[in-house]
Structure 1
Amino acid sequence: YHVLGVGLSSSQADIKKAYKRLTREWHPDKNKDLGAEDKFIQISKAYEILSNKEK
């Protein structure tokens, strides 16, 4: 939740919206900062976990 900047009670739509916003900001093709790729991976993993209702 912290990585995506959403609350524990956030809806799936809110989680997806935060994910899309952050991936646009941190995508390595658009963001040339040294840590951009690592941050992008963190965001992707967080979304994978939070979007899977079984986890």
Structure 2
Amino acid sequence: MTLMQDHYSRLGVSSTATPELIKAAYRKKATQYHPDKNPSQDAATRFREVQEAYEVLSDAERRKAFDDYRQRSLIEDPMPVAREISAKYIQGIIH
């Protein structure tokens, strides 16, 4: 099963983040992963992921649809979503 990408975690913000906070987080991450500034081989991929997350979360209609889908996913099939959340939590503690 392919899990949905969590745009909020991509930008490092909570699901209650304001549009201003989302924009600031996007700018920070975009600068961090921009291929011209980051020599890492996965920089371009990470940059595109950050762009996609911002495109969804900065548009009110797309953000609402994303939030609705996230909530349905957790209700309909909670185990994969719970595993993904716990893995990200543990990863955050380790780093």
Which category describes the TM-score, using the shorter chain as reference length? over 0.9
What is the aligned-residue identity percentage? 38
**After TM superposition, which residue ranges in structure 1, 4 or more long, deviate above 4 angstroms?**
none
Unaligned runs of 5+ residues in structure 2 are 1-7, 63-95
TM-score (norm 2): 0.57
Counterpart position of 1:20: 27
Tell me: higher relative CO, structure 1 or 2? Use CA pairs within 8 A at least 6 residues apart: 1
Which of the pair has more CA radius of gyration?
2
Decide which structure has greater helix share.
2
Counterpart position of 2:40: 33
TM-score (norm 1): 0.97
What is the root-mean-square deviation in Å for CA atoms of aligned residues?
0.4
Counterpart position of 2:60: 53
Looking at structure 1, the residues matched to 31 and 54 of structure 2 have their Cα atoms a distance apart, in angstroms, of 14
Q: Number of residue pairs matched?
A: 55
Unaligned runs of 5+ residues in structure 1 are none
Looking at structure 2, the residues matched to 8 and 46 of structure 1 have their Cα atoms a distance apart, in angstroms, of 12
